[in-house]
Amino acid sequence: MTDPHRRRAFRRFVSGLAAALGVASGPAGAASAQSISPDAAPPAWIAYAGIVSETVRARLTGDDPAAMRLSDDIARLPGADPQEGITLKVAFWIDGNGRITRIEHAPFAQQPANDDLQALLVGLSLAQSPPEKMLLPLRLAIRIKPKPRTTPASPDKN
């Protein structure tokens, strides 16, 4: 991706997915020691944020029972737009094999939603491992839209 216009467009796209590309050093659970804006992050980190975001979004909008429950919970959140959903800020710890080992997020008021989010994401294998020297956690803002529900067809009255 050497074309500067394509690179800027790609960065804007991923910036929309990632409110902040966070990097931290130090023990797990410690506050972020550093933060890099998407514009300052290396291109490989930006591309990886896009991979993580799309994989997570696909998992959260899938047909898994936990994803369906989470979608229902999200639709009932105060301030959730019925069409646009919510933006969930999540910190991801990813091991060298590309597996999400831990997440942190602002907790939902209802514990089942927190449990479902953990069950859906922790242990999720990504298409590739993080780029070399990428500091973690990776902090993304992911828009989650409620899953459209179809109403069952009316039985024939013949």
Q: What pLDDT, in 10s, does the model give residues 38-92?
A: 788 899 999 999 999 999 999 998 999 999 999 888 888 877 787 778 889 999 9
Instruction: Give backbone dihedrals phi and psi of 86, rounded to 5 degrees, phi first.
Output: -135, 165
pLDDT confidence of residue 18: 42
The answer to whether residue 124 scores a pLDDT higher than 80 is yes
pLDDT confidence of residue 39: 80
* Higher per-residue pLDDT: 105 or 143: 105
User: What pTM did the predictor assign?
Assistant: 0.72
Across the chain, what does the average pLDDT equal?
78
- 109/30 Cα distance (integer angstroms): 23
- 23/35 Cα distance (integer angstroms): 5
* Higher per-residue pLDDT: 3 or 89: 89
* Higher per-residue pLDDT: 26 or 79: 79
Contact (Cβ atoms closer than 8 angstroms) between residue 78 and residue 131? no
pLDDT confidence of residue 131: 96
Domain boundaries, the chain: 7-25+36-144
Sheet of 100-105: strand order equals: 100-105, 86-94, 138-144
**Residue 61 has what DSSP assignment?**
T
pLDDT confidence of residue 48: 96
Residue with structure tokens 């990428």? 134
Helices (H), 61-122: 65-75, 111-121
Contact (Cβ atoms closer than 8 angstroms) between residue 54 and residue 128? no
The answer to whether residue 9 scores a pLDDT higher than 60 is no
